Amino acid sequence: MDIRVIVLNGGSSSGKTSLARALQGLLPEPWLLFGIDGLIDALPPSGTGTGPGTGTGTGPGLDLAADGTVSVGDGFRALEAAWAAGVAATVRAGAPVVVDDVFLGGPASQQRWREALAGLDVLWVGVRCDPAEAAARERARGDRTTGMAVDQAVRVHRGVHYDLEVDTTRTPPVDCARAVARFVALSRSGGSR
């Protein structure tokens, strides 16, 4: 198995990006990082709403409600599919990639990635964090809608299948990254996990 894609799934403020950055420092070759936050940042200003229904329909369709829940419309799903296809093309062109995502649709989100990454060796990693700890991180960050971390902490994992799970509640990102890098190395050498 030659893992060329590592997909990290976890709720907001679970530590995925910190883990991914630590991974980039540990893996023996350069890996690119593509995160859902980058896709969201690339949307036009009208691409995100602040309440139910504000972004659905003809716009990109990503709604951030006041309570922290996120709803996704068809417009956003179309852009997300194009982004995933681009990530897959990057891997097929020779660059290994770490994907930092939030599976709001649980197994349906994972299936969309499975389809985009068909034929590639993928490591599926669940990044868990206790909801109370994720909420504390969310408050400390100050750049997230309050409630998002608690809403996503458990639900993004329901029905999703992983090769490896890490818990960042009390384990530093670099230690979680070491576990992921070890898994990649063992897979490449044919060793047992």
Q: How far is CA 180 from the centre of its chain?
A: 15
Beta partners for 34? 99
Q: CB-based contacts of 181: which residues, under 8 Å, 6+ apart? A: 23, 26, 27
Q: In what order do the strands lie in the sheet with 62-64?
A: 48-49, 62-64, 70-72
Counting runs of H as helices and runs of E as strands, what totals does the chain give? 7, 8
DSSP 67: T
Q: Distance between CA 119 and CA 102 in Å, rounded?
A: 22
Active site positions, annotated: 37
Say which DSSP state 132 is in.
Answer: H
- Sign of the Cα torsion 131, 20, 96, 184 reads negative
Strand 70-72 and strand 62-64: pairing?
Answer: antiparallel
Residue at 160: amino acid letter: V
